[in-house]
Amino acid sequence: MKKNTEVTIYDLAKKLNLATSTISRALNSHHSISQKTIDKVKKAATEMGYRPNNLAASLRNKKTKTIGVLLPTIAQPFLSALISGVETTAQEAGYNVVIMQSHDSYEEEVNLTQSLYSSRVSGVICCLAMETSDTAHFKIFTDNNIPLVFVDRVPKHADTYRVMIDNYAAGYKATKHLIDQGCLKIAHITRASEFGNIYSERKKGYLDALKDNNLQIDAKLIVNLKSVSYEETETAANKLFNLKNPPDGIFAAGDMMAIIAIQCAKKRGIKIPEELAVIGFNNDPNSRIIEPNLSTISHPAEKMGQASSEIILKNLEQSTKDDIRDITVLNTEVLVRESSKRK
């Protein structure tokens, strides 16, 4: 059986009786080579099945045209949309994207940062794992002039780029919407974590909206989940409904928490939104499927991905760097649907 071998520039040079340097320049459409020669070389390359060895070239240059994306998971609709934004922008600029999942594990995140660095990625975009409280393992990128962008779940203090939303303002807007709909006892279902500042900021917005509108803050109406599992969220919702003075509104820090709360309420015969108004966060696809449709806070995931890629590409293309502590904050809005529309 004949062994298949890769066609090299040496094979092209031999066939066309040209120097290998001429072949290389022609394949890259170098200005020093005539258009006639470029066309001839590229035609022969196509006919012979030549494939450029990008890996070898990247190893020589100590860089690849690859952006590494490190995320907790690709299963969440928000993060899938973020990936789409990253890929669209990167691919248009001729860059590949490699995606790695930490599964919200700090230890796994540390290992994957080493793997990305060893792979000679050109830049890194990261949404932090829920367990992460120390970001020292990312210094390997900044210390070696590899652009790094934290997106959505970002450290409070970091000498690098950050792309995020104003979670405090979003939490305030969500709570204020329920107040404007006539709710007086508003519960908050959120997620507890050692570092998840996105949830703590949404909670601060919730608390300040209550204060600013002279509504009592009741600790019994605030539920901190260890996970967003169906079982734990269901238990939390039922605990709220079993209170002597149950809530007439719920602001959930994520759409799935809100959807599960709606399902629990419907099982108990609680009318939504007449007896219980509910608003979530993220504008997941499921928010339009649940009956009644879920009011939510828009979370511009795809735009966040695009912005992160643009920062990486701009950083790679220019010799003078912008302030690496630059923070890009994108807008959110209240999407009012049936689950909270009382007025």
pLDDT at res. 4: 55
**Which CATH entry fits the domain spanning 9-52: 1.10.260.40, 3.40.30.10, 3.40.1010.20, 3.60.15.10?**
1.10.260.40
What separation, in Å, do the N-terminal and C-terminal C-alpha atoms of the chain show? Answer: 78
| Cα–Cα dist 141/145, whole Å | 6
9-52 and 167-299: identical CATH topology = no
Measured CA to CA, the distance from residue 317 to residue 294 in angstroms comes to: 43
The string of pLDDT tens digits covering residues 79-108 is: 999 999 999 999 999 999 999 999 999 999
- Give the start-to-end residue ranges of the domains of the chain: 9-52, 63-165+301-330, 167-299
Per residue in 197-228, pLDDT tens?
899 999 999 999 999 999 999 999 999 998 87
Kindly tell me if the per-residue pLDDT of 296 is higher than 90: yes
Secondary structure (3-state) at 250: strand
Q: What is the pTM of this model?
A: 0.79
Residue with tokens 């080579």: 33
CATH number of 167-299: 3.40.50.2300
pLDDT for res 197:
81
Q: 63-165+301-330 in CATH: which number?
A: 3.40.50.2300
Residue 102: what pLDDT?
96
Q: Is it the case that residue 59 has pLDDT exceeding 70? A: no
243 in the Ramachandran plot: left (φ > 0), alpha (ψ -120 to 50) or beta?
A: beta
Q: Is residue 2's pLDDT more than 50? A: no
Mean pLDDT is highest, among 27-41, 156-170, 293-307, for 293-307
